[in-house]
Copies of this chain bind each other. A is one copy, B any other.
Amino acid sequence: MAVAMSEDRIWTAALIVIGDEILSGRTQDRNIEQVALWLNLQGIRLAEVRVIADRQEAIVASVNELRARNDYLFTTGGIGPTHDDITVDAIAAALGRDVVVHPKARAVLESYYATRGGLTEARLRMARVPDGAELIENRMSGAPGIRIGNIIIMAGVPHIAALMMEALSGQLEGGRPLISATIGCWVAESEIADILRETEAAHEGCQIGSYPFFREGTVGANFVIRSTDQARLDGCTDDLAARLAAAGREVFRGGI
């Protein structure tokens, strides 16, 4: 049973989105969704997210709380060259480490900026890491992401964060990916609430989420079944479809 238990271990991650621009409403966050989807593929579950301001004490408190209770902690934002980029300093403070210039990051930036005006003091800020950190490659802008302990520090610009995740793909230990199936019905979710509750209760290891919508002038809902086990997922999905059909509902496999 030890193997089975190991397979059943759920690996979790937290994400801290660092940025006044999200809290002010200026910028629509795009990182939560893409980090969540990428983590699913790594067999890691996004367990919690925080969006916090560019303030050192807020970053330190959240970093120390979330890294302690999750297998991984990701951050996005605040690693550029300007005065409001304080993520590296704040995380180093959280870890009680010095900030140092990483020689390889410096070399990468020197090369990148050789034809772009040279490595200024501001640009050199992007080579600063908490002492002991490793780099995460970023072939787009030169400035690397940073990995230290279970903390992974990424850019806030979504397509650069995506490149950093690409570089990390397959590198992080995880468990079974969370898999899901979707069933849709043109029904008010309140009409089939009992069916959902009873079906979930009958299938251990599966959760059913209900997501109502209003479209084409009428109400409908998609029901998402989630599990880490394909057989359980299929069993629960088939059972839900059968119960909805028995209640006279037309069932759309794959959702509406």
Across-interface contacts of A205 in B (CB, < 8 A): none
For the complex formed, measure the closest distance between the CB of A239 and the CB atoms of chain B, giving whole angstroms.
Answer: 15
CB < 8 Å neighbour of A48 from B23, B35, B120, B191: B23
Across-interface contacts of A58 in B (CB, < 8 A): 48
Cβ-based interface call for A56 (8 A)? no
For the complex formed, measure the closest distance between the CB of A152 and the CB atoms of chain B, giving whole angstroms.
Answer: 17
Across-interface contacts of A23 in B (CB, < 8 A): 36, 45-49
Cβ-based interface call for A34 (8 A)? yes
Cβ-based interface call for A229 (8 A)? no
For the complex formed, measure the closest distance between the CB of A222 and the CB atoms of chain B, giving whole angstroms.
Answer: 9
Across-interface contacts of A50 in B (CB, < 8 A): 48-51
B49 adjacent to A51 (CB under 8 Å) = yes
A154 to B191, CA, bound (A): 21
CB < 8 Å neighbour of A33 from B17, B25, B37: B25
Main secondary structure, interface of A, reads mixed
A106 to B67, CA, bound (A): 44
B80 adjacent to A210 (CB under 8 Å) = yes
Number of copies: 2
CB < 8 Å neighbour of A25 from B37, B53, B84: B37
Closest residue of chain B to A49, judged by CB?
A: B51
Query: Contacts A22-B36, A33-B29, A49-B51 hold; do A81 and B120 have CB atoms under 8 A apart?
Result: no
A224 adjacent to B26 (CB under 8 Å) = yes
Cβ-based interface call for A176 (8 A)? no
Q: 3 closest A-B pairs (Cβ-Cβ)?
A: A25-B36, A122-B193, A25-B37
- What are 23 of the A-B contact pairs (CB < 8 Å)? A21-B209, A21-B224, A23-B48, A24-B36, A24-B178, A24-B180, A25-B34, A25-B46, A29-B29, A48-B52, A48-B58, A49-B50, A80-B189, A82-B196, A83-B196, A83-B208, A84-B207, A84-B210, A117-B188, A117-B191, A120-B191, A123-B190, A126-B190
